[in-house]
Amino acid sequence: MENIFRVEFVAVARSCSETFPELVGGGRGELILEDPNDILNCGIEIRVQPPGKALKTLTLLSGGERAFVAIALYFAMLKVRPAPFCVLDEIESALDENNVSRFARYTRRMSDKTQFLIITHRRGSMEEADMLYGVTMQKGISRVISVALEEAVKNEGK
């Protein structure tokens, strides 16, 4: 068990150190075992340095920064062990518009190995999608609306 954990931890930590600067646009992120001699019982420290800021632990970051670090960690794990399908429910709700756009573009990059279903109200995420589905209610009756964005753009000029 210890050997399996060590191998997987090293892979995720390496992926995190690559993914964080890719997603955030610079800086660095790292995962560190609190006690490398007792890896099955110790904690894992997350240290990040957003671009232009000092190195910090997760507890010292703002809510939006913490959310972005969590997203970067999640994507790092998906790089190590891609899932065929992933549901993200308002994962980017704490992010500002600039970071929502970064998240959406990165999700697009990851979509070659994982299909994403993103539940969102954020424009940046919707703009990067292939398909949009919405539910509307009129006179007490729910109706599902779908739009294929590529087709909608083609038909816009007609």
What CATH number has the domain bearing residue 93?
Answer: 3.40.50.300
34 and 93 within one domain: no
106 and 72 within one domain: no
State the residue for tokens 């990040």. 48
Domain count, the chain: 2
33 and 91 within one domain: no
pLDDT in tens, 63-74: 888 999 999 999
pLDDT in tens, 14-49: 999 999 999 988 999 999 999 999 999 999 999 999
Q: Provide the domain limits for residue 123.
A: 84-158
Return d(Cα 39, Cα 59) in angstroms, integer: 21
Out of 53, 81, 109, pick the residue that ends a domain.
81
